[in-house]
Amino acid sequence: MSADIPILAANRVSDRAKKTLDIVKQFVEERCIPADPVFAAQVDAGGDRWDHHPSVIDDLKEEAKKLGLWNMFLAKGHYKEGAGFTNLEYGLMAEYLGKSRCASEAVNCAAPDTGNMEVLAKYGNEAQKKEWLQPLLDGKIRSAFLMTEPDVASSDATNIQLSMKREGNEYVLNGQKWWSSGAGDPRCKIYIVMGKSDPGNKDVYKQQSVILVPANTPGIKINRMLSVYGYDDAPHGHGHLSFNNVRVPASNMVLGPGRGFEIIQGRLGPGRIHHAMRTIGAAEKALEWMLLRINDPKKTPFGKQLKEHGVIIEWVAKSRLEIDAARLVVLNAAIAIDDRGAKGALKEIAEAKVLVPSMALTVIDRAVQSFGGAGVCQDTPLANMWAQIRTLRLADGPDEVHLQQMGKNENKKGKAVSAKILRQAEITKDLFAKYGVSLSHIGPKSKL
Minimum distance between the CB of residue 177 and its own copies, rounded to whole angstroms? Answer: 11
* 321 close to 132: Cβ distance less than 8 angstroms: no
Q: Is the peptide bond before 297 cis (omega within 30 degrees of 0)?
A: no
Nearer to its own copies, 43 or 248 (CB): 43
Minimum distance between the CB of residue 38 and its own copies, rounded to whole angstroms? Answer: 5
49 three-state secondary structure: coil
Minimum distance between the CB of residue 131 and its own copies, rounded to whole angstroms? Answer: 23
Stretch that binds its own copies, among 62-70, 123-131, 195-203, 434-442 (CB under 8 A): 434-442
Alpha-carbon Rg for the chain in angstroms = 25
Q: How many residues does the chain have?
A: 448
Minimum distance between the CB of residue 360 and its own copies, rounded to whole angstroms? Answer: 14
| Among positions 110, 273, 354, 363, the unique one binding its own copies when judged by CB under 8 A | 354
Nearer to its own copies, 33 or 254 (CB): 33
Half-sphere exposure of 67 (CA within 13 A, CB side): 24
H/E run at residue 242: strand 238-249
Nearer to its own copies, 6 or 77 (CB): 6
Neighbours of 308 (CB within 10 A): 12
In single-letter form, the type of residue at position 288 comes to E
| Among positions 73, 351, 357, 364, the unique one binding its own copies when judged by CB under 8 A | 351
51 forms part of the interface with its own copies (CB under 8 A): yes
Minimum distance between the CB of residue 127 and its own copies, rounded to whole angstroms? Answer: 28
Stretch that binds its own copies, among 112-120, 265-273, 274-282, 324-332 (CB under 8 A): 324-332
375 forms part of the interface with its own copies (CB under 8 A): yes
314 forms part of the interface with its own copies (CB under 8 A): yes
Give me the torsion for CA of 49, 55, 58, 63, rounded to 10°: -140
Nearer to its own copies, 37 or 249 (CB): 37
Binders of its own copies: how many residues, by CB under 8 A? 152
Region 3-42 residues binding its own copies, contact defined as CB under 8 A: 6-9, 11-12, 29-30, 33-38, 40-42
Region 276-305 residues binding its own copies, contact defined as CB under 8 A: 287-289, 291-292, 294-296, 298-302
Give the burial string for 280-297 (b: 16+ CB within 10 Å, else e). bbbbbbbbebbbebbeee
Stretch that binds its own copies, among 130-138, 258-266, 274-282, 436-444 (CB under 8 A): 436-444
- What is the residue-wise DSSP string for 155-172? TSGGG---EEEEETTEEE
For residue 240, report the phi and psi dihedrals to the nearest 5 degrees. -110, 110
245 forms part of the interface with its own copies (CB under 8 A): no
Region 386-405 residues binding its own copies, contact defined as CB under 8 A: 386-387, 390-391, 393-395, 398-405
Region 141-170 residues binding its own copies, contact defined as CB under 8 A: 148, 150-153, 155-156, 159
221 three-state secondary structure: strand
Taking the mean position of all CA atoms in its chain, how far away is CA 104?
12
> Which of 76, 386, 435 is CA-nearest to residue 231?
386
Nearer to its own copies, 138 or 308 (CB): 308
Nearer to its own copies, 85 or 179 (CB): 179
Stretch that binds its own copies, among 17-25, 110-118, 163-171, 364-372 (CB under 8 A): 364-372
Taking the mean position of all CA atoms in its chain, how far away is CA 355?
12
In single-letter form, the type of residue at position 439 comes to L
268 forms part of the interface with its own copies (CB under 8 A): no
For residue 244, report the phi and psi dihedrals to the nearest 5 degrees. -125, 100
For residue 135, report the phi and psi dihedrals to the nearest 5 degrees. -60, -30
Half-sphere exposure of 396 (CA within 13 A, CB side): 25
| Among positions 4, 44, 58, 62, the unique one binding its own copies when judged by CB under 8 A | 44
Minimum distance between the CB of residue 295 and its own copies, rounded to whole angstroms? Answer: 4
Measure the CA–CA gap between 155 and 1, rounded to whole angstroms: 36
Measure the CA–CA gap between 432 and 448, rounded to whole angstroms: 20
Nearer to its own copies, 162 or 255 (CB): 162
Nearer to its own copies, 84 or 235 (CB): 235
Pairing type for strands 208-214 and 170-181 reads unpaired
* 25 close to 343: Cβ distance less than 8 angstroms: no
| Among positions 3, 168, 200, 421, the unique one binding its own copies when judged by CB under 8 A | 421
435 forms part of the interface with its own copies (CB under 8 A): yes
Minimum distance between the CB of residue 239 and its own copies, rounded to whole angstroms? Answer: 8
What are 75's strand-pairing partners? Answer: 85
| Among positions 178, 191, 243, 261, the unique one binding its own copies when judged by CB under 8 A | 178
443 forms part of the interface with its own copies (CB under 8 A): yes
